[in-house]
Chains A and B, each alone.
Chain A
């Protein structure tokens, strides 16, 4: 059975269609936007400022985004993920916000999906040296955090993925220390670029891309963007993340995209844009230096990699 996020026969060149649609939308405005994406009020009318981003280049083909996935809960290999991830039951789903907050919260998925959402076309740079351009839909993580009112004692945010070995088949092996845990500093978490993604290419998020909710932190390596998360915990201390535990010399807490900080395996100076054959230079903070460089002034980024 074809699921709603799977491409139909009329979507063999989704990239071109997508760009055509976008050109159309530019000319038409908010009313028709709401008609194209009836599930959420996509557009400029969300109650926050839209970040001003430069040209990110043409979006990667939808087929590639949905087939080339790093998602260790299902497989350490990329292409099996697309099939294995269909096992994940996305509903019912609740998000818990706890820790150093005034108002601990438990939100169900429907409440979250009813939040105002907008489209953000971001570059995604994987630590393995490849990259994509992905048109996400979602909302800034800060809108979710604000609801719980973080206390001033909360300096970091810890994200915990899902632990369901019955559905996430590679969790039956101890490839990593499950559940997947990630973290951000509070100012990174509340940065307007930090997104909770609910969909891509105008469709609900496919399971292999982290449905129902995943984090997107575009200036950091992809592994920071935890998929299918369920817990947000505001904490006092810098959390220990899954990849820091697996290989502390290779994966730091910050994991900012930085061509000057080498990784023992993959060159961080260059990247393969999926859809291209050769390599292109990697940009500092994945090209988002204007927006985020100020978060790290005075920090030794070689030490805090």
Chain B
């Protein structure tokens, strides 16, 4: 149920933009609106993807603390991992749209201009770097591939942490004076990555079943 809601809701920003574009209703600077909405949707989905593991960990702890254990299946919150895949793919979708709008409207698909700008501005090559790193993750997101790759899948998908940092740097670099949203994105990412670091560092908090759950998916 949640997955169906999410897969429809995830299309919201895209539908809004397509509708606005076809009715001429994207504000006074439609180019700016397209770039900003696709970029914002992208970072929101990426942060949501990053939030799943900490969220699951807290929910499991909470259930244990409340003694809400309907066996292990009821309290492991494993369905969140399946939602995570969809969130990540939506993130990739919007980041790709974000780059596509830029290529079409800013560059007219001129590779020479694209290269000129990308080598000139740090936020641009950071953006391209993030997008390129997302591609292998999106390609290997399918469950069948994931099973076939075994342990390597998790290893590869740790790249997502680097992508999150690159994405936040891209946004911070492109923020103008007075923009507060980028600081919020940076704080959220820092919190979510910091959570992982803390958990990894405090081996006391490491639960063997976490590893298990991921592998047996």
Interface residues of A (CB under 8 A from B): 64, 67-68, 72, 76-79, 128, 130, 170, 175-176, 246-247, 262, 264-265, 267, 269-270, 272, 274-275, 277-279
Provide the residues of chain A in CB contact with B174, threshold 8 Å. Answer: 265
Task: Tell me, in angstroms, the Cα distance from A175 to B177 when the chains sit together.
Answer: 7
Contact of A130 among B29, B105, B176 (CB under 8 A): B29
When the two chains form their complex, are residues A246 and B30 in contact, meaning their CB atoms are under 8 A apart? no
When the two chains form their complex, are residues A67 and B28 in contact, meaning their CB atoms are under 8 A apart? yes
Provide the residues of chain A in CB contact with B161, threshold 8 Å. Answer: none
When the two chains form their complex, are residues A279 and B178 in contact, meaning their CB atoms are under 8 A apart? no
Min CB–CB distance B132 → chain A (angstroms): 21
15 sample A-B contacts, Cβ–Cβ < 8 Å, listed by A number:
A68-B29, A76-B176, A128-B176, A130-B32, A170-B178, A176-B178, A264-B121, A264-B123, A265-B121, A269-B113, A270-B106, A272-B29, A277-B30, A279-B31, A279-B106
What 15 new A-B contacts, CB under 8 Å, besides A77-B178, A262-B121?
A72-B178, A76-B177, A264-B122, A264-B123, A264-B173, A265-B173, A269-B113, A272-B29, A272-B32, A274-B28, A275-B28, A278-B31, A278-B105, A278-B108, A279-B31
Provide the residues of chain B in CB contact with A269, threshold 8 Å. Answer: 113
Task: Tell me, in angstroms, the Cα distance from A23 to B178 when the chains sit together.
Answer: 43
Task: Tell me, in angstroms, the Cα distance from A241 to B29 when the chains sit together.
Answer: 28
A272/B121 contact (C-beta < 8 A), A267-B106, A279-B105 known: no
- Would you call the interface of chain B mostly helix, strand, loop, or mixed? helix
Provide the residues of chain B in CB contact with A170, threshold 8 Å. Answer: 178
Interface residues of B (CB under 8 A from A): 27-32, 105-106, 108, 113, 117, 120-123, 173-174, 176-179
When the two chains form their complex, are residues B31 and A277 in contact, meaning their CB atoms are under 8 A apart? yes
Choose among B105, B177, B179 the residue with the greatest number of A CB atoms under 10 Å from its CB: B177
Min CB–CB distance A14 → chain B (angstroms): 14
- Would you call the interface of chain A mostly helix, strand, loop, or mixed? loop
Task: Tell me, in angstroms, the Cα distance from A279 to B120 when the chains sit together.
Answer: 19
Which of chain B's residues has its CB closest to A267's CB?
A: B117
Min CB–CB distance B98 → chain A (angstroms): 16
When the two chains form their complex, are residues B120 and A262 in contact, meaning their CB atoms are under 8 A apart? yes
Provide the residues of chain B in CB contact with A175, threshold 8 Å. Answer: 177-178
Task: Tell me, in angstroms, the Cα distance from A128 to B74 when the chains sit together.
Answer: 52
Task: Tell me, in angstroms, the Cα distance from A171 to B177 when the chains sit together.
Answer: 14
Min CB–CB distance A104 → chain B (angstroms): 34
When the two chains form their complex, are residues A265 and B123 in contact, meaning their CB atoms are under 8 A apart? yes
Which of chain A's residues has its CB closest to B26's CB?
A: A277
Min CB–CB distance A109 → chain B (angstroms): 30
When the two chains form their complex, are residues B106 and A277 in contact, meaning their CB atoms are under 8 A apart? no
Min CB–CB distance B185 → chain A (angstroms): 16
Min CB–CB distance A114 → chain B (angstroms): 34
Pairs of residues from A and B, 7 with the lowest C-beta to C-beta distance, nearest first: A76-B178, A68-B28, A175-B178, A64-B28, A272-B31, A262-B120, A278-B105
When the two chains form their complex, are residues B121 and A274 in contact, meaning their CB atoms are under 8 A apart? no
Contact of B105 among A64, A78, A79, A277 (CB under 8 A): A277
Task: Tell me, in angstroms, the Cα distance from A12 to B113 when the chains sit together.
Answer: 39
Provide the residues of chain A in CB contact with B32, threshold 8 Å. Answer: 130, 272
Provide the residues of chain B in CB contact with A277, threshold 8 Å. Answer: 30-31, 105
Provide the residues of chain B in CB contact with A67, threshold 8 Å. Answer: 28
When the two chains form their complex, are residues B177 and A176 in contact, meaning their CB atoms are under 8 A apart? yes
Provide the residues of chain A in CB contact with B113, threshold 8 Å. Answer: 269
Min CB–CB distance B208 → chain A (angstroms): 47
Task: Tell me, in angstroms, the Cα distance from A77 to B29 when the chains sit together.
Answer: 13
Task: Tell me, in angstroms, the Cα distance from A64 to B117 when the chains sit together.
Answer: 29
Task: Tell me, in angstroms, the Cα distance from A246 to B106 when the chains sit together.
Answer: 27
When the two chains form their complex, are residues A76 and B31 in contact, meaning their CB atoms are under 8 A apart? no
Provide the residues of chain A in CB contact with B27, threshold 8 Å. Answer: 68, 79
Min CB–CB distance B112 → chain A (angstroms): 12
Task: Tell me, in angstroms, the Cα distance from A275 to B31 when the chains sit together.
Answer: 10
Which of chain B's residues has its CB closest to A251's CB?
A: B177
Provide the residues of chain B in CB contact with A64, threshold 8 Å. Answer: 28
Min CB–CB distance B54 → chain A (angstroms): 32
Min CB–CB distance A305 → chain B (angstroms): 14
